Amino acid sequence: MKLLFIILQVALGIFSENPELAAGNLCGYFPQDTIVSEAPRGYKPFYISHIARHGSRFQSDGAVKYFQAVDTLESCARQGLLTADGLALMEDIRMFRDMSQGHYGELTGLGALEHRQICGRMVRHYPEVFSGGKRNRVEAFTTSSSRVMASMDAFLSELSERAPGLVVDTFKTNWGKDIRSQEVIGYMKSMTDDQKKESDQKGKQLLKTGRKLAKGRNDCHVFAERIFLEPEKVPSSTVKYLAKATHRTFKTGRVTEPGTMPGMGKYLTADELYSLWISSCIQWLKYLNLPGYTSPLLTTRGYGILDRIVKDADDAIMSKSSSAATLRFSHDTYLLPLMGAIGLEGTVIDCDEMEVLDHFQDFNFVCPACNVQLVFYRRGCSPVLVKFLLNEKETLIHGLAPRTGCFYDWNAVKQFWAASRGM
């Protein structure tokens, strides 16, 4: 119980200092660290494998139900039940509803900028990769989602300005819908009915765990007192719905019009933000392996994408391709299983579920434009080295020691992955 108290205090402290992080997987992208470590003497980068989620987007059409909060608040206003904050909240949600009309799920201007900036930093940090010569091709793969395609277009537009001599080949697939069309993306297998059932059951179990963690913090009484003149007259179900709608609307609005929408903490306390955040964050764990649980989503999506990344990298190393870089653009539900398949620090969970959110927070992994980069280095006939970046921050593989600093022997990495899968 003492440990659980400490974990909760850590999470609450995070949201007290930065309420925007309660947006979770819709928290705006920010490169946590763009330091580029010096490679071992004589080694130069020659190939990059990059996979990224689409950038910040408008509210999805599936979440339009939260805009009904405007109707609920308008009804309360007619009855004279709203405080000044309640009236302001009604106008804030109405403004975002009107702003989103006709743009549901589309990439925002901020989302395009995120990818342009990622590309700019990549070219600036690894100019040798994009200098042309024998390696003058870039392959770019996207799903058929409009926001994913727009993210790729933004990245490639920046790339064409910074490295105009490259030849870019683009490919579009029904990734996630038509498994047979995905060979160029990843060797993914469809989940069996039993695996789907297992994944769904795990999601429900995790949701129950989230409720336990949020217990005592999810009545939203402070929110009610801020919004309603006589909160005791408002059904608790209405209060909770409005709190959830506020959280959901604002976390998307902050990455749609960050200069217009109010901050996440305007109407909700750190306690309330935590209880609303936890129910969505904890369900991401079904995409990762947990003690006693092997995620079907990791074994199908994660390993499938990783196998293709390995093949493309080996082709580049053996000069079977002239690719300077392979770029993939997708969704968070594919990025996270890949992170787990690679074994990036923070995605290998070896603690109890009640403690896990002290180690895994979604905004560090699956924010808009989240990305994984493998940067390959060579020096004559010496072993090829690789380093891993998560959201442009150099990171390590859990359980495998690097050769030096953040640099790994590529063959040792492949052997480690094969052993971890029992191959």
Only one residue has tokens 């980069």, namely 373
Q: Give the three-class secondary structure for 52.
A: strand
Strand partners, 397: 344
Only one residue has tokens 């090829």, namely 384
What was the pLDDT predicted at 45? 97
**DSSP structure class, residue 377:** E
- Between strands 393-395 and 323-330, the pairing is unpaired
Residue among 388, 386, 344 at smallest CA distance from 365? 344
pLDDT 10s digit of each residue in the chain, 423 long? 343 433 445 556 788 888 888 889 988 887 756 789 999 999 999 999 999 999 999 888 777 788 899 999 999 999 999 999 999 999 999 988 888 888 888 999 999 999 999 999 999 999 999 998 888 999 999 988 999 999 999 999 999 999 998 999 888 765 544 333 344 444 556 788 899 999 999 999 998 988 888 877 777 999 999 999 999 999 999 999 999 999 988 888 777 766 777 888 899 999 899 889 988 899 999 999 999 999 999 999 999 999 999 999 999 999 888 899 999 999 999 999 999 999 999 999 888 777 777 778 999 999 999 999 999 999 999 999 999 999 999 999 999 999 999 999 999 999 999 999 976
Structure tokens at 198: 């297992």
Structure tokens at 36: 């580029």
**DSSP structure class, residue 236:** H
Find out whether 190 and 176 touch, Cβ atoms under 8 Å: no
Residue among 300, 299, 293, 334 at smallest CA distance from 203? 293
Structure tokens at 330: 């997708």
What element of type H or E holds 168? Answer: strand 167-173
What was the pLDDT predicted at 253? 75
What element of type H or E holds 116? Answer: helix 109-125
Model confidence pTM above 0.85:
yes
- How far is Cα 156 from Cα 86, in angstroms, rounded to an integer? 44
Find out whether 193 and 290 touch, Cβ atoms under 8 Å: no
The number of CA neighbours under 13 Å toward the Cβ of 8 is 17
- How far is Cα 217 from Cα 272, in angstroms, rounded to an integer? 6
Q: How many CB atoms lie within 10 A of CB 265?
A: 17
Structure tokens at 40: 């071992």
What was the pLDDT predicted at 182? 43
Q: Match domain 2-58+105-220+268-420 to its CATH number in 3.40.50.1240, 3.40.47.10, 3.40.50.2300, 3.40.50.11540.
A: 3.40.50.1240
Q: Please classify residue 150 by burial: count the beta carbons closer than 10 Å to its beta carbon, then call 0-12 exposed, 13-18 middle and 19+ buried.
A: buried
**Interaxial angle between packed helices 236-253 and 84-100, expressed in degrees from 0 to 180 and rounded to the nearest 10:** 50
Strand partners, 141: 171, 328
Per the document, the length of the chain is: 423
Q: Give the three-class secondary structure for 103.
A: coil
Structure tokens at 362: 């979604």
Find out whether 173 and 144 touch, Cβ atoms under 8 Å: yes
Query: Which residues 6+ apart lie within 8 Å of 12 measured at CB?
Result: 270, 271, 274
User: Sign of dihedral through CA atoms 235, 236, 237, 243?
Assistant: positive
User: From its phi and psi, is residue 367 left (phi > 0), alpha (psi between -120 and 50) or beta?
Assistant: beta
The number of CA neighbours under 13 Å toward the Cβ of 24 is 20
- How far is Cα 333 from Cα 289, in angstroms, rounded to an integer? 14
Find out whether 391 and 371 touch, Cβ atoms under 8 Å: yes
Q: Which amino acid is at 18?
A: N
Strand partners, 329: 52, 142
Only one residue has tokens 């040792």, namely 412
Cα-Cα-Cα-Cα dihedral of 207, 210, 212, 218, to 10°? -110
